[in-house]
């Protein structure tokens, strides 16, 4: 069933777990994620990122995602991940998305607040959940994102607890993406998580669900520590999306004939389903 993500996040707050927010950039991946969630009997947030537009146009993927969510046996939210322009965010709203991320973290704090509040005001009028971001993740240390300024440490991008409280109060966002050590993309070095900072942020905004991006590369202990520290939604994509490439050469070479593309998709779907299932189960924080 299609629901507003606020409902899912409120339950996660109450029961100390994190909802998986998984990007689905194809029908194959969409089916994999939904099957994993249904097998676990667990709600999931189906996400579409603006940066995926060149190969997964929202006008095509949005209706597919919505139809699949409506037919699902578990609660599903339809979420726009990293909406970086107002026009794209409003396009997602017109397609029936029930949750959006207003990603204006690249601007100054003041402009981030101003732009996010305008989006939040529009979304709340139609009962759509808004995820805001204060703090960023760099690219030239590990992962993807804006480059770290020369002479600065990784902490340059981290969320400051006092400003996080101001940001939430002034924008009215329903959830907050925070930066304290995780990164987007492939981890090329072991992440160093600032759990003391996470605790301070949680104290500053105790009633706001916290969101962590870059959930693919963290080990189980770090993931559970983040959840116990207040993280209520974890974005997951890279490690699932990369899983088929590890085994496709062997699959194709052992098939005895050139496989049809739909056979490749089906093989990939099963691999990605298991990765999604692993993440969904881990994020439930059941020990």
Catalytic residue positions, numbered: 81
Give the span between the Cα atoms of 235 and 21, in whole angstroms.
Answer: 5
C-beta of residue 243 within 8 angstroms of C-beta of residue 29: no
Give the span between the Cα atoms of 182 and 263, in whole angstroms.
Answer: 35
Give the span between the Cα atoms of 254 and 268, in whole angstroms.
Answer: 15
Token readout for 102 is 């207003």
Give the span between the Cα atoms of 107 and 113, in whole angstroms.
Answer: 9
Token readout for 61 is 């993927």
Q: Is 179 exposed, middle or buried (0-12, 13-18, 19+ CB in 10 A)?
A: buried
Query: Angle at Cα 61 formed by Cα 118 and Cα 43, nearest 5°?
Result: 80
Sign of the dihedral through C-alpha 273, 275, 276, 281? positive
């Amino acid at each position: 069933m299609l629901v507003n993500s606020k409902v899912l996040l409120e339950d996660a707050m109450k029961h100390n777990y994190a909802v998986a927010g998984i990007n689905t950039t194809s029908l194959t991946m969409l089916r994999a994620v939904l099957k994993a969630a249904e097998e676990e009997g667990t709600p999931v947030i189906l996400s579409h990122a603006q940066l995926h537009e060149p190969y997964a146009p929202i006008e095509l993927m949005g209706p597919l995602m919505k139809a699949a969510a409506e037919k699902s046996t578990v609660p599903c939210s339809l979420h726009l991940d990293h909406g970086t322009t107002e026009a794209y965010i409003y396009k997602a709203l017109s397609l029936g998305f029930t949750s959006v991320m207003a990603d204006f973290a690249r601007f100054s704090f003041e402009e981030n607040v101003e732009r996010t509040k305008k989006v939040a005001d529009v979304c709340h009028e139609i009962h759509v959940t808004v995820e805001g971001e204060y703090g960023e993740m760099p690219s030239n240390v590990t992962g993807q994102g804006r480059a770290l300024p020369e002479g600065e440490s990784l902490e340059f991008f981290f969320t400051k607890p006092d400003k996080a409280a101001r940001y939430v109060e002034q924008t009215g966002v329903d959830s907050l993406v925070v930066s304290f050590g995780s990164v987007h993309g492939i981890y090329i070095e072991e992440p160093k998580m600032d759990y003391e900072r996470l605790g301070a942020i949680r104290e500053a905004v105790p009633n706001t669900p916290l969101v962590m991006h870059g959930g693919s590369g963290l080990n189980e202990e770090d993931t559970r520590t983040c959840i116990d520290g207040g993280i209520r939604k974890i974005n997951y994509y890279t490690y699932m999306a990369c899983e088929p490439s590890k085994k496709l050469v062997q699959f194709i070479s052992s098939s005895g004939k050139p496989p049809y593309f739909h056979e490749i998709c089906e093989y990939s779907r099963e691999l990605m389903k298991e990765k999604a299932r692993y993440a969904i189960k881990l994020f439930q924080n059941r020990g």
